[in-house]
Amino acid sequence: MAPPDVTDHHASQPDPLRLDAWVAFLRAHARVVAVLDAELREEFGLPLTWYDVLVQLSEAGGEVRMSELADRLLLSRSATTRLVDRVERAGLVERCVPSDDARGRIVSLTESGRTALASAAVVHLAGVQRHFARHLDAAEATIVARAFERVVGDAYS
């Protein structure tokens, strides 16, 4: 097999405008996530990653298999296990063995987890508005959402 032609990769590189968009996305994402995390930690002692666990469980009806939670969190199985360990030690979730599959684990929101989520959601959503949403008018929000949906769809095709 012949080595790839080193000039081929240049044709697939983004143009400067799209590269600027990529860099702006990375910077905005890092900045907004850091600020949202800091706000949740300061107000509730709840890291953004823990909040995401609680949201994903809530959206799944209060409980989900560990493997599905990993998929929802966009994390590896081992990273999800370590994260859930910490959230469980805080009493916000609990794990149990499902009756139909002793190999798997189900993660469930506890009452403390539901309470924490309800309280933190107010602060988090206000932060999303303040640090992200207010910078987009309706047309821009539509364009951004559609563009990222295309990126996600392409990444999984």
Concatenated DSSP letters for 58-95? HHTTSEEEHHHHHHHHT--HHHHHHHHHHHHHTTSEEE
- Residue 89 CA to its chain's centroid (Å): 21
Chain position carrying tokens 């932060």: 127
Tell me the per-residue pLDDT of 101-122, one tens digit each, with 9 for 90 and over: 767 789 999 999 999 999 999 9
Concatenated DSSP letters for 7-29? THHHHTSPPHHHHHHHHHHHHHH
Structure tokens at 53: 């666990």
pTM of the model: 0.85
Q: Please check whether residue 99 is in contact with residue 65, taking contact to mean a CB–CB distance below 8 angstroms.
A: no
Give kind and range of the element (H or E) at residue 64: strand 63-65
What pLDDT, on a 0 to 100 scale, did the predictor assign at position 52? 98
Tell me the per-residue pLDDT of 109-157, one tens digit each, with 9 for 90 and over: 999 999 999 999 999 999 999 999 999 999 999 999 999 999 988 866 6
- Asked if the model's pLDDT at residue 6 lies above 60, the reply is no
Q: How far apart are CA 90 and CA 98, in angstroms?
A: 22
Structure tokens at 128: 């999303």
What pLDDT, on a 0 to 100 scale, did the predictor assign at position 8? 56
What pLDDT, on a 0 to 100 scale, did the predictor assign at position 11? 61
What pLDDT, on a 0 to 100 scale, did the predictor assign at position 99? 73
* DSSP β-bridge partners for residue 96: 106
Q: How far apart are CA 40 and CA 23, in angstroms?
A: 26
Give kind and range of the element (H or E) at residue 95: strand 93-96
* Least confident span in 51-55, 71-75, 94-98, 137-141: 94-98
Q: Please check whether residue 123 is in contact with residue 131, taking contact to mean a CB–CB distance below 8 angstroms.
A: no
What pLDDT, on a 0 to 100 scale, did the predictor assign at position 98? 77
Chain position carrying tokens 């640090």: 131
Q: How far apart are CA 111 and CA 92, in angstroms?
A: 7
Tell me the per-residue pLDDT of 85-98, one tens digit each, with 9 for 90 and over: 999 999 999 999 87
What pLDDT, on a 0 to 100 scale, did the predictor assign at position 120? 98
Q: What's the chain's average pLDDT? A: 92
